[in-house]
Amino acid sequence: MNEIPFPKKVRIHAVWLSDIHLGYKDCKADYLLNFLDTIDTEYLYLVGDIIDIWSMKQNFHWPPSHNQVVRKLIKMARNGVKMVYIPGNHDRVFRDYCNEAFGAIEIREQAVHTTQLGKRILMIHGDEFDDVIRFSGFIKFIGDIAYDLLLFINRWNNRLRNQFGYSYWSLAAYLKERVSKAAQAIHIFEQAALNKAKTEGYDGIVCGHIHHPNFIEKDGIVYCNDGDWIESCTALVEKNDGVLEIWHWSDRSHCMKRLNGEIVEHAVEQLDWLDTA
Ligand SMILES: [Mn+2]
């Protein structure tokens, strides 16, 4: 951890986490543990790809910090945090247990959260939109692995470009095409999610899956993506006043919230609403 721990406990209404990928080597479990120690929440939604069963089948990796995350979540649920686990594609084996409970943690294929402002928000992992993307003509890949790879290339391309500049990168042309496809895939995903929320009569939708934290508001319907804990280290939170924000825990100067219809960046430390528990 490069940053000092957050100094206080923050009381919030709800938290959404997804794409933690416990069992995968790049999971940022230390940041997540710090985040979980900081929050005091009524609801915690796990929106899929929490445990990366896929990755563990290839290469078993389970360091103490990953175990600590599981223990911490179980403890929170036992202490009264209302917790729902919506399995994703990397932990789809748990879909066999939908509508059952692991201790105090409920397993659901999808769930609905009502915010403090009375908004009904549908929650799904989002891999059901892979077909929409695949059949859209932009992506010829087949299977989740190729799709994950595409998004991975997108993220690393940005990182390498920031570090070395455009000219250094000899695969620029190849990646440029891939990146534009990734951007299109993200856009299609977001529109499909908004469309689903609208068609099914919800005020909003929360997804994970694409490791791309974002807020969109279209025709009065909100799309939120809570990001991931491999690179972004982001959580979606609902404050006690019903406002939704995305917190970047590895870079707390770049949090996102909606303000007067615009998405603005802000630093989490500078918020005046922080309520010490
Ligand atoms: Mn996924």
Q: Report whether pLDDT(145) > 70.
A: no
142 vs 124, more confident: 124
Q: Give the pLDDT confidence score for residue 9 in this predicted structure.
A: 79
DSSP bridge partners of 217: 222
Q: Are 127 and 144 in contact (CB under 8 A)?
A: yes
Q: Give the pLDDT confidence score for residue 270 in this predicted structure.
A: 46
Q: How far is the CA of 213 from the centre of ligand 1 (A)?
A: 13
At 275, the pLDDT band (50, 70, 90 cuts) reads very low
pLDDT in tens, 17-35: 999 999 998 899 999 998 9
Q: Are 249 and 34 in contact (CB under 8 A)?
A: yes
The mean pLDDT of 236-256, rounded to a whole number, is 83
- Straight-line distance from the first to the last Cα atom of the chain, in angstroms, rounded to the nearest whole number: 24
Q: How far is the CA of 224 from the centre of ligand 1 (A)?
A: 15
157 vs 216, more confident: 216
Average of per-residue pLDDT values in the chain: 83
DSSP secondary structure string for all residues of 151-207 = HHHHHHHHHHHHHH-TTT-TTHHHHHHHHHHHHHHHHHHHHHHHHHHHHTT-SEEEE
Q: Are 186 and 104 in contact (CB under 8 A)?
A: no
Q: Are 216 and 225 in contact (CB under 8 A)?
A: no
Q: Give the pLDDT confidence score for residue 168 in this predicted structure.
A: 45
226 vs 155, more confident: 226
The class of domain 10-270 in CATH terms is alpha beta
What are the domain boundaries of the chain? Answer: 10-270
Q: How far is the CA of 48 from the centre of ligand 1 (A)?
A: 7
DSSP character at residue 148: H
pLDDT in tens, 36-83: 998 999 999 999 999 999 888 888 899 999 999 999 999 999 999 999
Q: What is the largest CA-CA distance in the chain?
A: 54
Q: Give the pLDDT confidence score for residue 82 in this predicted structure.
A: 98
- How large a percentage of the chain has pLDDT more than 70? 71
Q: How far is the CA of 125 from the centre of ligand 1 (A)?
A: 7
Q: How far is the CA of 118 from the centre of ligand 1 (A)?
A: 28
The mean pLDDT of 226-244, rounded to a whole number, is 91
